[in-house]
Amino acid sequence: MTAKNPAAIRSAYILLYLLLPLLLITAIWHINPSKYSSPKIIPMMLGALAYTMMNMQLIIASRPKWLEKWFGMDQLYRIHGSLAVIAIAAALIHKGMEPRMAFIPWLSFAGSTALSLFIITSLLAVLFLTPFLRRLLPASSPLFRITGLAPFRYHIQRWIHNITVIAAVIMFIHVMLTPTAKNWSVQSLYILYFGTALSFYLYHRLIRPRFFRHLFVIDQVIPESDQMTTIRMHPIKDSVFSYKPGQFAYFSFRDPALTREEHPFSITSQPGCTDSLSITIKDLGDWTSQAKHLSPGSTVHIDAPYGRLSPLLYPCSGGMILMAAGAGITPMMSIIRYYRETDPLQKILLFWMVPYEKDLICKEEWLEIQTRMTNFTLVPIVSRDPSFPGETGHITPSLIRKYAGLSQMNLSDAQIFICGPANMQNACVDMLHELHVNNRLIHKENFSF
């Protein structure tokens, strides 16, 4: 089953967003058309744009599912980052073109404070989301060990990022002190934009965690390899929530081994299984390295489902090619387990890239899948062990073409799903373009910016 014209729905949302600052600009312009027929309209437009986008930051940060289902969470994160840059740039130019603000102390102070907070949190977010910078200054570095601050730890960074709401409150005070707020229509829009954004934030931070999370209990903690651990759990009430193969969720564990902040993990179990859910966690840092110490009986709070890396959202009659590296194998496991039970004749070609043969987890299950699914082809590619009897090194365009042919798939109509580190994803996309694969057939989710 595929969604009806998602591109049109995405375009409609984008159009609606573009109209929001225009609505505010029009209302302000109607206060004094003669004044705003001059160049003074420019700082007014920039101020309205900055205010609208800063409020939109809170809405997107709340992970609205009605929006995520059409864009995907990774795209929303990108929009989130882009809006921050545009909002800050617009606010800085607006401030520079409105020198009279300096003579209204509270107005100038509120605007400058809000802008400073937005700049600080945006810079910290860039540092947190950029893998290269995180490696330069890890939480375990001597500087952060001595100070005890460790600002790049996930939960601390998230709280720093939430300072954005304080900036939004101060920005609201700033606009309500402006002369334009004396007009009832402009004042109503100021209140509507901020009130809506704040409502989304409060729902995300206070209401959803307490009343709309799925509660599970851990059944088993299974070591798959020295770096991969599978967590199996069952729902406390009712059955497992509905999700599509390839989707992910946000998990918060109530266990002494881990702090309680949410982390996103792909679901590895088969959709349709009503009494059990599983995820497989790779040791990638301080927090994930402790997952193997979780205890059966501990409670798990889950916010789900999210993601568009699912074959059920696209027409796959021409087959599908899956490309996975590292923890990127986890959504692929759910996809293949789903088709093993629902459509074992589905054509699937999986390229699985790992450093060593020992990183190929669940070997017995893969043998069973290959027996049941006659149109399934598994191609492990081991990069650091030249003695491996199969493919070694790295994936190449010729390798893709070779196994697509052996699997009787045409690269012009097979859907392609990619999951792994950012550099791997970019390399695979470049190879597919070299093979003249259309962009509409390539699907990936990348959370490293």
For residue 212, is it left (φ>0), alpha (ψ between -120 and 50) or beta? Answer: alpha
- Whether the CB-CB separation of 318 and 346 falls below 8 Å is answered with no
pLDDT above 60 (res 248): yes
**Residues linked to residue 300 through DSSP beta bridges, in sequence order:** 216, 253
CA atoms within 13 A on the CB side of 309: 34
User: Containing H/E element for 5?
Assistant: none
Dist. CA 180–CA 172, nearest whole Å: 13
pLDDT band with cut points at 50, 70 and 90 for residue 449: very low
pLDDT above 90 (res 412): yes
Dist. CA 284–CA 281, nearest whole Å: 9
Dist. CA 316–CA 61, nearest whole Å: 32
Q: What is the pTM of this model?
A: 0.88
Residue 243 CB neighbour total at 10 angstroms: 20
Provide the pLDDT for residue 54: 87
pLDDT tens per residue, range 82-92: 788 888 888 88
Dist. CA 84–CA 369, nearest whole Å: 46
Dist. CA 174–CA 179, nearest whole Å: 11
pLDDT tens per residue, range 357-377: 999 999 999 999 999 999 999
Structural domains of the chain ordered from first start: 6-211 (1.20.120), 214-306 (2.40.30.10), 314-444 (3.40.50.80)
- Whether the CB-CB separation of 230 and 268 falls below 8 Å is answered with yes
Cα radius of gyration rounded to whole Å, the chain? 25
